[in-house]
Chain A
Amino acid sequence: MASYFVLGIFTGLIYSMVALGYTLVYGVLRLINFAHSEVLMTGGFAGYFFLHYTMPTINVSTPMRVLILIGAIFASGIAAAIVAICIERFAYRPLRRRNAPKLTYLISAIGASYFLLTLAGKEFGHNPSATPQPITSNMSWQVFGAQITAFDLVLLAVTAVLFLVVNALVTRSKVGRGIRAVASDAETASLMGVNVNSTIAATFAIGGFMGGVAGLFVAMSSQVDYNMGFTPALLAFTAAVLGGIGNIRGAMAGGVVLGICMYVPIYWIHQPFYEPVIGFSILVLVLLVRPTGLFGESLGRSA
């Protein structure tokens, strides 16, 4: 029971990172970025290649491993951010220019998602592959009967740092002010001198960076595969809705809550394939009972 709880928390952290991308884009553009799963996949592959080429052997010293891990985080984050900006540039901006209906954004995003997914399959092959592990410490701690590994602690630390940085970025910095301004009223913001296009690109870049880092952790905890992004991204969207879409802190909490809600029932039913089923049931339930999520919706107000 406790171990499922802990598993839920740490899987939930990955969902929270991805959910942040959904939430930021939703807050600014009022649309679900369906291609976000491919941002995650890009992060996974970028991380894979970085680790593959920087760690040719197992025998790497501990400080070097830390450096490599930090490098991998930045590599996957930046690669994913670039892909996210490209998605915005090629799949959304041409539509935004002519005030297209919302339906066309969703369809164009689905097209982008499948294009990137299959391109990755073509480029990197269709066989999944295990990622080299920079975190090889066997240390683990017992908390209420659950085992917490070094990997979990690294994930927790990275998530916490990134979340604090993003939160500060959005609430304190000039870019963040722009993002919040565009989120609350784009037209007025543009009259006030905010460059709407570059602000939207920045939003995609921030969300993409987080998604890419999440992809790296997905790759390290399981393996890289061209369709690795699909299910985590769908569940992360659920997390974003659970926390109140458009709300940064909500996304963070939503991921963890979703992880717990998904894994604890597995303790009783012993059927791991029910995870996504539980996740989507939660999504439908949340949308029915409280469509604004646990913490309310607006990016402009609550973050």
Chain B
Amino acid sequence: MSATVTAENKPAPPPVERIKVKVDGREIEVPKTTPDWQGKPQATTMLQACAHAGVDVPHYCYHHKLPVAGNCRMCLVEFGTPVMDPATKKPALNEDGSPKIARSVLPYEPGTPRGAIACATPISPGMELYPGSPATAQMREAVLESLLINHPLDCTICDQAGECKLQEYSVEHGQAASRFVETKVHKPKAVDLGPRIVLDDERCILCTRCIRFTKDIVNDDALGIINRGSYNTIAAAPGRQFDNNYTLNTVDLCPVGALTSKDFRFKMRVWFLKETKSVCPGCATGCNIIIGSRENVIQRLEPRENDAVNGPWMCDSGRLDYKWVGASNRLKEVLVGGKPSTWQTALSEIGSRLVTAAPGSVAIVGSARLSTEELFLLKQLARKFDAITDVVEHLGEADRLLVHAEKAPNYSGARITGLAYTEAGINLPRIRAGIETGSIKSLVVVGEDLVAAGFSSDLLGRLSLLVVSDIVPTPTTSIAHYVLPGCAYAEKRGTFINAKGRVQKFMKAVEPPGTARPEWEFLHELVHQVTGGNGYSTIEGLFNLLARELAPLAGLEWSRLGDTGVTVTL
């Protein structure tokens, strides 16, 4: 294993030629090319140049990770190009020596300014962009007026309020009153588009982001536009469902309140949500997410953009798999011999019993759902008792986009810490055999139900010490001598290392139930107790410690992980 740590998987691209343009009079230098939605270098657009100048050009249909459509026209920007002297073929100059610029006008009406769509129009050297000009402002205002004539004006009851680009831009770029006095076009409301999506066609502004996403990203050509002109309507084919594992991304992409998630719609106003940066624990991809919670309850998960992992997307199954965190059956108290007890009692008893265990008679089964820090602590315990260790393998279907076959977030962490071998679960038969033959007498299980993993209750009943930590009751906890209530990922901090070696932090969004504690906290106490060694009482310190000890993570520090993590060589 190499100790190289790079910020990205790919080597740094070669330097790109830069060209000068002016944005609202300010000269800036921008790269001649910029990666497009697929990451291929393409001529830098007016919109991208404006972004370099810190100017946000409003837009609806444009999305940096989707093919350009150019249909909303919101990003029309007035511009100017250097005039060439036809005789000398050189730039013509004004009297003061500055280059002569021809402002864009309608070819058939030279007095009227013309805009170009900033999302698709490449810049050229010497070009001047006027995103702040009155003509640009008028074009935006007109597009907004058009978008609103057939749009319901009922933001007060719309679910998108607070994260609606139509609402936002109307305030910023729109006009106070509409001139429209005609009858609005009526379209279908509350269309059941698929098992997870509801569509309000009247709110739709036909930007086609959803269509392009499912066609070009997911490769499921499920959505389209039916009818014509003002009657255009987003739809699935008759009798067909919009039902792939990525449909909910269209809700994120929808700039208005047309596409809503059945799971979240009308649940609450988005401005009440507390947002926490986290990582999806559903599989070894480790999609970056934002946990939206309110009053200690998770309300929704959304993808958080990370080009090294998930781009701006996540799968539906991951997104909707959060209700278990707040489940009513969560383990809320420490049990000793099936009876409620305290952490202090349980940990000190477990410590003493382990210390007296015969060398080689202890086994530890961890979980790839645990953080790297927790796996590291388990490995420290194992080292102390010369314990055989492993994690349970959870395999399932993978897809071509994000879903990984390993159904837990931290198999790489389990391997790097040494708690598991290249093939997770390879030691489990040996552990099972050890219990059968009586050579293994003490077993510590954290985060897994061993009965489900093929250890019978009878077999486990032969152990003289069974310590189990989990977050919900399982057949394994029901026969444990000690039950330690642990935390869901959303209730603690830590890191996961994904299948590609991305080391990523996740933060705490909600409080654990009852007296449940983060596993790293009590494992750290246990390790301290049995080894007598010094430890760190913070997650930062723990991570920095393990980074020093584990070769693949050499040189890493918690503070360097940032929000989107660092890729290490596995």
Bound pair (A, B): no
**Interface of B with A (CB < 8 Å)?**
none
